[in-house]
Amino acid sequence: MSDSSRTLPPEALDEWAQALRERFGLGEEDLPIALILDLARDVANGVARPAAPFSAFAAGLVAGRAGGSPDQVRAAVGEVVEMALAWSERRQD
């Protein structure tokens, strides 16, 4: 499989997100695409690229254990992003 065949255009990402919502009974607010992509970007840039999906999973796990509301998801993601930014700064010192 070539790299280009593994890259989703934006509309395909929307279609995939909708398929996930339908399959798992999630609402629009339950799957905040931009928030998750921002987390992945910040972790990839601040820690390492392979840390991005692992960190997104961890944020989801933390949010789920806290109750899983949209506010709890945002809080968990915010904490992971803060950690990634601090990690990056620590490595630069």
pLDDT in tens, the chain (93 residues): 445 556 667 678 888 999 999 999 999 888 898 899 999 999 999 999 999 999 999 999 999 999 999 999 999 999 999 999 999 888 776
Q: What are phi and psi of 67, to 5 degrees?
A: 130, -25
What pLDDT shows up at residue 1?
A: 45
Domain extents in the chain: 1-26, 32-92
What span, in angstroms and rounded, lies between the C-alpha atoms of 26 and 34?
16
What pLDDT shows up at residue 24?
A: 96
